[in-house]
Amino acid sequence: MKSVSIRIAGANGDGVESSGALLMKVASKSGLHVFGYRGYQSIIRGGHVWYQVRLGDEKLSSHGEKIDILIALNQDSIKNQKSHLNDGAVVIFDPSKVSASEIDGKGFRLVQIPLLDIAIKVSGDPIMRNVAAIGAALRFVGIDFEIFKTVVRDMWLRKGEKVVDNNVNIAMQAYRYQGVSTLFDIKGDDKQRYAMDGNTAFSIGTFAGGCKFYAAYPMTPASGILHWYAAHQNKGALFKQTEDELAAVNMAIGAATAGVRAMCGTSGGGFSLMVEGLGMAGMIETPVVIAESQRTGPSTGLPTKTEQADLLFVMHASQGEFPRIVVAPRSIQECFTVGSEVFNLAERYQCPVIVLLDLYLSERVESVDGLDLDSVTIDRGKLVTENTTGERFKRYEITEDGISPRSIPGTPGLEFIAPSDEHDEYGDLVSDMYSGIDEYVEIRRQMHSKRMRKIETMLKNEKVFTPEIDNPSAEYFFVTFGSTTEPVQEAARVLNESGKSFGVISFSYIMPLDKEKTRRMLENKKLIDVECNYTAQLAQVIMANTGIDIKNRILKFDGEAVTGTELARLAMETVKNFK
């Protein structure tokens, strides 16, 4: 596989993110695979930000560790990015704005282009120097300029021909500038791909899966879901920006109780406020979906950095016990498939479903071949539409599989009460009458047992609650979950290509977990746990459910995303001291 990593660096307000998005669209249109990720601060203007775009002739699984081409839009970009440059890397900069003296003579190819002068002469707008820089980068990686022209026309024709012509002319001058030539010639195939982030793929999946109501208070990195639903609410799904996360979860629970496929979204701090509502959903057996996109903590932590430290939190949030499903998608493609299926699971088992994303998955961009909307099916579970017995409807009827019939409120003959206290089969409270009276003691025992039996039913009926294994005959196995899976898979490929023997065991649906099948998959194997948290939370879940203690661990908790080459290097160090 051939790949090249391009990092655009500057300050907030320099058009860094829009440059990266443009570059990825052009590369995807040219038949290349792309993987993009950004580093930014929680300020509107200023500070140091970057956007890394990796291009390859095969599917990419991380944004790459080192930089082959650096576009330095300000002086800080040289200072902050020089340690990340590959040997012989290309550094594109405007000598009127940036000095490269501190890296001159160190083996890098310094390319001076009057980016600002080109932008002003063509358009009069200095911000468009970033477009000039993209033009030069396209030449260095051998992308046909005609593809750039097509993408720009698709993106900006609505703003007028002049805007299109300005972008094309600015990029063309840098593309043809003296000293700019093709150094990284990566050939794509003829297939045009979509480039999208995890939040977008998840939003499309949930919408295809029937979501009709989304409530949220803005909180990075889940805000992308909010933005998608706000932009598409005229397509058939109502979006509500709430005053806080308490309102968001309670609105979603209310809508779901009323029969609407409903969801709310937040990050860890917002989910902390949703915990009481989560418990109510468990008691009234409401099929609500909650998206929780993790960032570093505790408290506000690093609000623009990634982490996987909320796993145990979402698994055990709220008082008491009740069934819930926790799923952590492993790729952009899986964000879509998980999103399209979670409402089926929520309604099939009448319980909350928590989708555990994180900043690295929510905001990274990958090329995908397409989203199979035709494969999406709708299963509303035990939803009844008429009373065939003439008797009072038992909304919480005690059943062998733990799942009771459910109706849409207001359906004649199927009216019910949905209390947050313990109740009987009809929804009538028993809490006020509970004082050790045998009748009510027995109701509590039966109702709680009924709800918890859903877990057995899930494990019996669904195949997803076990991990997946790649290269089952390998000598060593990475064990991971969620967003780290693709970088781990890349690390395994790198190691295997060098003559080592590595496989991957990855978890997506984590709760409930099929203990016996998971134990059989993991036992008697040389395991290395990989997670972005300090306490190895997945390893704790595995130990609690199977008794298997994974002692060898690669844990990253500095807020930065893992890369395949980094993990491969750390894995070899781990093997040398294997426990």
Residue 46 is predicted with a pLDDT of 79
Secondary structure element (H or E) that encloses residue 48, with its range: strand 46-56
Do 352 and 251 reside in the same domain of the chain?
yes
HSE toward the beta carbon, residue 397, CA cutoff 13 A: 16
Do 87 and 224 reside in the same domain of the chain?
no
Q: Looking at residue 7, which CATH number applies to its domain? A: 3.40.920.10
CA-CA-CA-CA dihedral for 169, 174, 177, 179, to nearest 10: -170
Do 283 and 371 reside in the same domain of the chain?
yes
Q: What is the pLDDT of residues 103-117, one digit of tens each?
A: 999 999 999 999 999
In this prediction, residues 181-203 reach a mean pLDDT of 92
Do 11 and 115 reside in the same domain of the chain?
yes
Do 209 and 337 reside in the same domain of the chain?
yes
Tokens 């509500």 label which residue? 240
Tell whether the model's pLDDT for residue 385 goes beyond 70.
Answer: yes
Residue 78 is predicted with a pLDDT of 97
Q: Looking at residue 269, which CATH number applies to its domain? A: 3.40.50.970
DSSP for 144-169, please give it: -HHHHHHHHHHHHGGG-HHHHHHHHH
Q: What is the pLDDT of residues 453-511, one digit of tens each?
A: 999 999 999 999 999 999 999 999 999 999 999 999 999 999 999 999 999 999 999 99
Domain end among 145, 163, 190: 190
Residue 220 is predicted with a pLDDT of 95
d(CA 216, CA 230): 10
Q: pTM (2 decimals)?
A: 0.95
d(CA 224, CA 197): 9
Buried b (16+ CB within 10 A) or exposed e, 428-438: eebeeeeeeee
Under the banding of pLDDT at 50, 70 and 90, the label for residue 524 is: very high
Under the banding of pLDDT at 50, 70 and 90, the label for residue 295 is: very high
Percent of the chain residues topping a pLDDT of 90: 92
Do 253 and 346 reside in the same domain of the chain?
yes
Q: What is the pLDDT of residues 325-382, one digit of tens each?
A: 999 999 999 999 999 999 999 999 999 999 999 999 999 999 998 899 999 999 999 9
Do 328 and 403 reside in the same domain of the chain?
no
Question: Taking the alpha carbons of 295, 299, 301, 307 in that order, is the dihedral positive or negative?
Answer: negative
CB 363 within 8 A of CB 198: yes
Tell whether the model's pLDDT for residue 88 goes beyond 70.
Answer: yes
CB 424 within 8 A of CB 396: yes
Domain that holds residue 443: 382-462
Do 235 and 371 reside in the same domain of the chain?
yes
- Ordered alpha helix ranges (H), 296-411: 311-316, 332-349, 359-363
Q: Looking at residue 569, which CATH number applies to its domain? A: 3.40.50.920
Do 139 and 212 reside in the same domain of the chain?
no
Do 86 and 179 reside in the same domain of the chain?
yes
Of the candidate ranges 35-44, 115-124, 539-548, the one whose mean pLDDT is the lowest: 35-44
Residue 25 is predicted with a pLDDT of 94
CB 353 within 8 A of CB 346: yes
Tokens 């391009």 label which residue? 6
- What single DSSP character describes residue 560? P
Do 253 and 364 reside in the same domain of the chain?
yes
- Based on the structure, what is the number of domains in the chain? 4
Under the banding of pLDDT at 50, 70 and 90, the label for residue 237 is: very high
Contacts of 158 (CB under 8 A, 6+ apart): none
* Preceding omega of 419 cis (within 30 degrees of 0): no
Buried b (16+ CB within 10 A) or exposed e, 116-128: bebbeebbeeeeb
Question: Taking the alpha carbons of 227, 229, 233, 239 in that order, is the dihedral positive or negative?
Answer: negative
Mean pLDDT of all residues belonging to the chain? 95
In this prediction, residues 208-235 reach a mean pLDDT of 96
CB 201 within 8 A of CB 368: yes
SS3 track for 61-121? CCCCCCEEEEEECCHHHHHHHHHHEEEEEEEEECCCCCCCCCCCCCCCEEEECCHHHHHHH
Do 233 and 343 reside in the same domain of the chain?
yes
Cα angle for residues 470, 471, 472 (degrees, 5° grid):
95
Task: Name which of 525, 272, 519, 259 is nearest 409 in CA terms.
Answer: 259
Contacts of 312 (CB under 8 A, 6+ apart): 537, 540, 541
Under the banding of pLDDT at 50, 70 and 90, the label for residue 149 is: very high
Beta bridge partners of 36: 53, 365
In this prediction, residues 84-110 reach a mean pLDDT of 95
Residue 516 is predicted with a pLDDT of 96
Residue 434 is predicted with a pLDDT of 67
CB 170 within 8 A of CB 135: yes
CB 358 within 8 A of CB 221: yes
Q: What is the pLDDT of residues 1-53, one digit of tens each?
A: 899 999 999 999 899 999 999 999 999 999 999 999 999 988 777 789 999 99
Structure tokens at 406: 């459910």
d(CA 174, CA 131): 9
Q: What is the pLDDT of residues 412-457, one digit of tens each?
A: 999 999 999 999 999 999 876 667 678 888 999 999 999 999 999 9
Domain end among 168, 190, 212: 190
Give pairs for 339-342: CB < 8 Å, separation 24+. 339/201, 339/202, 339/203, 339/204, 339/205, 339/206, 339/207, 339/208, 339/209, 340/205, 340/206, 340/208, 340/209, 340/375, 340/376, 341/205, 341/209, 342/206, 342/209, 342/289
d(CA 332, CA 158): 29
Domain end among 375, 404, 431: 375
In this prediction, residues 117-137 reach a mean pLDDT of 95
